[in-house]
A and B are shown apart, each in its own frame.
Chain A
């Protein structure tokens, strides 16, 4: 990957979009210049929803973008500064689920689960909302610091789709920001919300499914307690316990081999970093 360091001015950033929607003067794209950071932001979402396009817009990097051949198979990292805060941005492979795994999906899941991002942006295709919401709800089981980026709103408009993003935000309990990332639309607002949430100034009330089963809850509580003993500091022990009860092979393996906690290490997937996009 080539090193790209550039500072965006409002004019340069926004050549393609109407001036009213652009106010990115406070954004500085730092490329891979990343010695330290204040916050980590993960970009998750279904395949082909514009995650890498967003990553590039905010970091100035050139992650591959596009249909199929532009598929991201491993995570990429870049940085940006917004006002005086530095953000590390992590572009994840597309995934339909955090539960059933291809290797690429595992990269995304493990980062959201154990990488402890300060904010997870779930990028959703406004034209395939149902699919995106499945992943949003799964993500909300893991973290309450979620911003939904309702992308490809330009195409939705063309398809005569109207989405009531306020109702959606109310039901999900987290902010929903409509965007057309490729055209820069909605990006300043998205960044403002991400920044506020990273600082803990954006209260959320994540919608969570209630399993309503006393026996299940008791088993989960017991297992979660044991897991916390085995893996001190493990985030999301409850979620891991649910996966164990569900017979999730990759999680069972990680517990058995004692590698569950290792997933928190930033260099936990060296072999995956070697993977090339096909």
Chain B
């Protein structure tokens, strides 16, 4: 059986040079694929201090070894880069078909280097790659862009592109594929900084598997198990459009810039209400869940708004931060974010920050261009989405994210930035789900909910052991969730599907796809997750991050949470130092959060030791 380590397409936009390489077998063994390859190549190829928006930063697009096959929910894809929003390691996950199309073109990694003079896009086929003019689509939204690319290259084409937000270097611009986004960390901004509008792949289905027979047997078993799983069937029915029913009920739905954990009148926002506006579904390659619920507004001021989404995070982003229960406005804002190419979470959170500054009198109508940022009013929120994307008026300031905006505004406004490492927090209140909160604190990318999702706290999942969601002592759970996620993102297993009863097949599928038997051992997969997380940590340490950056926002640590009718009133995160000591010790890190030489050697990361000496 021939080992299939995956191929790299390297494109230098400055010189126009294009080359194909194979991933070395040792890298495949140690990092498996996708996010594993992403951190390995980013760490090795980006010098410390590289300007995230400079020519030397790289955009790395990654499909996993299972993508494009008959196995289900494994064709999502990943982008890694140095984040222009945070300066830290960036990984963002996207859905739709693009990951499968990368594999059809026999690619697992696309490394984009340099910068092109004029707006351009990359067109890839199985045997070629061209850098072409994007004159016709620069300035166009993501829908128009993709339609134009399809008209040029035919129906067997799939694209990943940016919208005007990426072109305008909004610090949290997304990469959009179909209507799915690699939303977080500003990956689209880095594309924009390179004058790169899109990457288009034209290809037809071909499989590149080391052991196709074994693989297909396993994939059939996976399909069978998944199809019967109750979690899958529930997800197929609702996607994430009913998660707010739970988070409100238990008091962890952040409202008014993380002051409350429950929205008054949240019953108006429940999944069944969104359901009334549902007109269809869409999803990722080879996934029968098709969990992207499409909504259309049929009346009122947002009549005609149409979006694949919002899903849970975006439902929250356009309701919770501004204390609105207007479903139609959330659909419109979600549509705008997808069209302009914006991260919905940071967009919503940044707007919520602006509303609080307005309430506190730190900004006023003359700053906002006449908009009255009053809680419950959704019209200014929708207007701000457009202003941010176009850097119009106050949108120019908010396009920088909350940390930079607060630096400019001053007057103590930094207290109201709800972020970790510069990445705005998502839709789970850390004071009511503390393992989730500490995942935000310690995740390599900053406050990201799916970097180590604490299903134990939120849903009562009792593995590897049950938790009390108000307990701050579960460092082992946070590490388990983070490393498990990292290993799954080598796959790339969709975070939802990872819990649909087939996890015992994952390593075997990887082994059959690559021809590397090591992957069959779950303990080995966990070690790969640990290795990835440590290398991401080293990347951040090189950039000056450390223990000081592993704390939740001051509000979360000093102000009691108000949960209205839910449990958790008065909760705070009060034991950060004890938590970090325990977390670092379990990870094999020093008190300063630096992996010890012993730990790095154990993980085969000896070469990293010298890079982080003295941190």
Q: Do A and B come from one complex?
A: no
